[in-house]
Structure 1
């Protein structure tokens, strides 16, 4: 008997049972019961699988219970840490027990050096270190389970950190004394506002408006289908580079992350550099879009947009740029085009995009079989994954900064952050259709089909090694969604010339760091076919950091791929070819709630 990929026996074709409508209906009814139960359970658990976590804790606890050496080691380390804490705090200055991790800014204020706050902060940091030792390196625990237990232990510890409570935080106590408690009154008001917004789903309207302050680069929607609007931006130079640029943003975000205010808009900057720029604006899907899959996003998104750009400009080739998940989608499309002999892509620029998901960071903690089964049933019920679910997951990955430190700042210190371009954009979240998101998580994060040659597009497999195009890949140093070590794999996963830029900042802040940003810096590598492949850390350590934005060297690279003289700007749309201008940018889809 033949065995399937997951080890399930498959009956011979000759033994296949005849179609039985009554049996099929009954099986579907039983499956529906399971789906409804799981969906309700998932909502109650905020989209996180309690079974996945329970199995991980059981695995860890069982193996720790049969590891007397590990238990003895933990007892020994506990005694040593207690001794260090006592010695460091008995002199009154609280120095010397343990230093916070580089990214931990909770205890940097000098007030934490006075007693009893020093003892509390140092005790917390030592406890945090001890729990890391306790949840890791237990013999026999599955690696995935170990990472999940360590992650949640860290989350719970961050929740009870002394910095989170007014009576154990010296900064809050000092502010309360200085303001006679007005900071707590303001914080209570902020908390009530947030609770009301959470319960009603109604959030205060941002002062910045789309089309005026954000997504304000002039242009026209020149194509629309049920999934995308294609925006063509108006030229601002007398001549333009010969090859146009098509931007494929992630469908998990509104496209205008790349068209923020005038000073931070990559799209506006590119137009000013003489590029003819087109950008996809994805529809915010609803229940009616539940069955749109990954292949639909490739065909109705990338390929439909590429057809339009080619027709409007008359260019034989087009530069492709993909951001985050859009970069993964664009890579799949490029591989399918290479397989079919379609040479319309001149180059690929991939921003914080992954093609191999074996080291995709802590986001993989939420892509186990149990977790994806729960998410799948939640999305099946509504037809989509609600926009708050992914936002909550991303916040959990950086809970220290995005949850607890923010709560201290707003609710205890009474400081509400002013509006920012990125802040307004991040609150303008999108939904994900059931079929697409389920396919993406399983094929990429769970099974790694693209990197391992099992991904299909257009009814046939696609292979990364078929993409013989020059590539410019950008990764950000502090990326918690697409870790730079994972993006670095593009340098050896693709066969052609790959330029790799490691830039300062996070998943979003590093990408939108415009020229003139005082904190922007980058490292650059050019890898050509036949070159040896350096290890990621070795390359980073040996490569000097350059100050400034990565935008300029990338634009220079694009110009080198053009290989032609500047031309007159193409028309804005082509009504005679079915691409008449429909609406001014930013269009309709980006405004969908």
Structure 2
């Protein structure tokens, strides 16, 4: 009868309710759930105590007024633009309300069993990849409303007029932080996966999660240090940073490591690597399969690496002059003692590359010609387009950072780690928050994330100089940087430069690196690798991952270069090694660490890199 009625034009009967659809969401054991909720609240209280204890004792003092004030002030400038004109306000509200209405109508249609095409085009988001986000009308509604609202807020921020570039950049950054934090994927009651997990375990996941929360706040000495990997699976010197070598010299600033030769003949020019002090050098020596250092040794390079000290209050006044003189110059002196060589190839990574560039400009003024070629990995020398880290670089925020450093003489490593994680909060913060504290699960072991969590402190004088001269005032690019009584110009650097950028780099954007390439006074080979700040550099040839782009000309804008550039599959490492050989390929018998002049102090990777904070 029902088929006849439908064929006659009558309304189709509503779909039958399928209890299996909601069965996983129904609480089976409310008593057990209640007990576990109480236990999770108890553990949450322990977490709160771990947070309060160092603040009550005066061990930790939070400076939060200035950052919160800046967020409110920045976002208020966006709100002001949209509300001061009634017509703009109406248009913005109408667009959002229309989108909400369409989502609501679509949800009603889905609930009624109608298979109408979605009325609202909602972009896909990997946070909502589980099928329940779309299969269950309630969660599908939340997913769409959140996505539409987040996109709407980001669009209003981008289209707000009358903002200077820095204010707009900050506003967009703060909005992304807020929308990432408020995602329904981050809460038990609004995430179908978490909700079902909690029901299935009767809340045991929350008990374990809050226990982990308390442990991570205790590990952070009052700050939340989110674990991103199973740290128990890694140990520096045992299964990380294991390329054979010796520490052959050290001072207050650094240790110098020389790695043992793997070939009978080695290139006459030694290779010096100057890593960033914001992270530890062993990102270039994670394990034998990923180690750039080991690969270089196998290609016949005599490799020396600067291993920076993990500073404390004793290093408060160590500045860029110290890091240049007692870091790079000390390494060059050590190389000469160990090998007898005066001419060196040098590599600088990230801020280590910026220091190397500044030192090369200083060397040009002082007549020091020991470095014959320089390679820069994801290094900025012009900070005009410096990416999202520039959000933190205005006078008010720098004064706040300097105030934080004043008490101890350094910036705690967790602050820098948080800043880097915030650049990709949807990938590096919230997934781990959900997995660790709401699912109650342990993270998977991942060597790169272990290295990422092995943070370092920043000396007060060094960090303040870096932020002010690079991010705030861009003095190196403008020929105004003062170092050791000299005014530096990158144009004075005439040696060949291999300048590597990474296409998806959010710390040293490829465009920023390209613009900086034009400031040097000699031959510059600009190369762009696939992936980002780390994976774009740590890309062994045998993995056959990603690609790189080359073009010999630096004419035109960055966009012009990318149109001309030739794409080559795989790692850029062999291309770089070929570049090195083009400039000097003479070989000599293999050298042993320290040579005849220096006695090794200890085995690589040394003691400085093992200091954890």
**Residue 544 of structure 1: CA displacement?**
4.9
Report the equivalent of 1:161: 183
Structure 1 position 290 matched with structure 2 position 316: yes
Separation in 2 of the partners of 1:54 and 1:172? Answer: 32
Instruction: Work out which of the residue numbers 208, 211, 224 in structure 1 matches 2:250.
Output: 224
Report the equivalent of 1:580: 599
**Residue 200 of structure 1: CA displacement?**
6.4
Structure 1 position 307 matched with structure 2 position 336: no
Report the equivalent of 2:51: none
Matches within 5 A, 1:89-100: 89-92=107-110, 95=118, 97-100=120-123
Larger gyration radius, structure 1 or structure 2: 2
Structure 1 position 418 matched with structure 2 position 418: no
**Residue 48 of structure 1: CA displacement?**
6.2
Structure 1 position 389 matched with structure 2 position 407: no
Count of aligned residue pairs for this structure pair: 545
The SS at the match of 2:126 is coil
Q: 1:438-475: per-residue Cα shift (whole Å, max 9, x none)?
A: 11100100000000111022211111111112211222
Q: Return 428-437 or 418-427, whichever deviates more.
A: 418-427
**Contact 1:67–1:139, Cα closer than 8 Å, also in 2:** no
**Residue 183 of structure 1: CA displacement?**
4.4
Instruction: Give the direction of change, closer, same or farther, for the CA distance of 1:140–1:427 in structure 2 (3 Å limit).
Output: same
Report the equivalent of 1:130: 152
Structure 1 position 503 matched with structure 2 position 503: no
Matches within 5 A, 1:442-481: 442-481=468-507
Instruction: Give the direction of change, closer, same or farther, for the CA distance of 1:413–1:547 in structure 2 (3 Å limit).
Output: farther
Instruction: Give the direction of change, closer, same or farther, for the CA distance of 1:416–1:174 in structure 2 (3 Å limit).
Output: same
Instruction: Work out which of the residue numbers 80, 85, 90 in structure 2 matches 1:67.
Output: 85
The SS at the match of 1:430 is coil
Instruction: Work out which of the residue numbers 49, 70, 88 in structure 2 matches 1:52.
Output: 70
Structure 1 position 370 matched with structure 2 position 393: no
**Residue 385 of structure 1: CA displacement?**
0.4
Matches within 5 A, 1:175-194: 175-176=197-198, 183-194=205-216
Separation in 2 of the partners of 1:137 and 1:43? Answer: 38
Report the equivalent of 2:259: 233
**Contact 1:98–1:125, Cα closer than 8 Å, also in 2:** no
Instruction: Give the direction of change, closer, same or farther, for the CA distance of 1:174–1:55 in structure 2 (3 Å limit).
Output: closer
Task: Give unmatched runs, 5+ long, in structure 2.
Answer: 1-57
**Contact 2:261–2:592, Cα closer than 8 Å, also in 1:** no
**Contact 1:264–1:514, Cα closer than 8 Å, also in 2:** yes
State the superposition RMSD in angstroms: 2.6
Structure 1 position 549 matched with structure 2 position 575: no
**Contact 1:575–1:581, Cα closer than 8 Å, also in 2:** no
Instruction: Work out which of the residue numbers 97, 101, 110 in structure 1 matches 2:131.
Output: 110
**Residue 118 of structure 1: CA displacement?**
1.7
Instruction: Give the direction of change, closer, same or farther, for the CA distance of 1:84–1:547 in structure 2 (3 Å limit).
Output: farther
Instruction: Give the direction of change, closer, same or farther, for the CA distance of 1:423–1:515 in structure 2 (3 Å limit).
Output: same
Report the equivalent of 1:147: 169
**Contact 2:365–2:486, Cα closer than 8 Å, also in 1:** no
**Residue 281 of structure 1: CA displacement?**
0.4
Instruction: Give the direction of change, closer, same or farther, for the CA distance of 1:126–1:387 in structure 2 (3 Å limit).
Output: same
**Residue 168 of structure 1: CA displacement?**
2.0
Task: Give unmatched runs, 5+ long, in structure 1.
Answer: 1-39
**Contact 1:56–1:145, Cα closer than 8 Å, also in 2:** yes
The SS at the match of 2:243 is coil
Structure 1 position 321 matched with structure 2 position 347: yes
Separation in 2 of the partners of 1:163 and 1:313? Answer: 57
Separation in 1 of the partners of 2:66 and 2:450? Answer: 26
Instruction: Give the direction of change, closer, same or farther, for the CA distance of 1:333–1:167 in structure 2 (3 Å limit).
Output: same
**Contact 1:74–1:133, Cα closer than 8 Å, also in 2:** no
Report the equivalent of 1:592: 611
Report the equivalent of 2:467: 441
The SS at the match of 1:206 is helix
**Contact 1:46–1:389, Cα closer than 8 Å, also in 2:** no
Report the equivalent of 1:333: 359
TM-score (norm 1): 0.86
Report the equivalent of 2:6: none
**Residue 497 of structure 1: CA displacement?**
2.4
**Residue 72 of structure 1: CA displacement?**
3.4
Q: 1:415-460: per-residue Cα shift (whole Å, max 9, x none)?
A: 4222222122122111011111011100100000000111022211
**Residue 46 of structure 1: CA displacement?**
5.5
Instruction: Give the direction of change, closer, same or farther, for the CA distance of 1:475–1:84 in structure 2 (3 Å limit).
Output: farther
Report the equivalent of 1:253: 279
Report the equivalent of 1:489: 515
The SS at the match of 1:488 is helix
Instruction: Give the direction of change, closer, same or farther, for the CA distance of 1:296–1:207 in structure 2 (3 Å limit).
Output: same
**Residue 150 of structure 1: CA displacement?**
2.6
**Contact 2:274–2:305, Cα closer than 8 Å, also in 1:** yes
The SS at the match of 1:262 is coil
Q: 1:518-552: per-residue Cα shift (whole Å, max 9, x none)?
A: 5432222323xxx623x323433454543212212
**Residue 69 of structure 1: CA displacement?**
4.3
Instruction: Give the direction of change, closer, same or farther, for the CA distance of 1:354–1:219 in structure 2 (3 Å limit).
Output: same
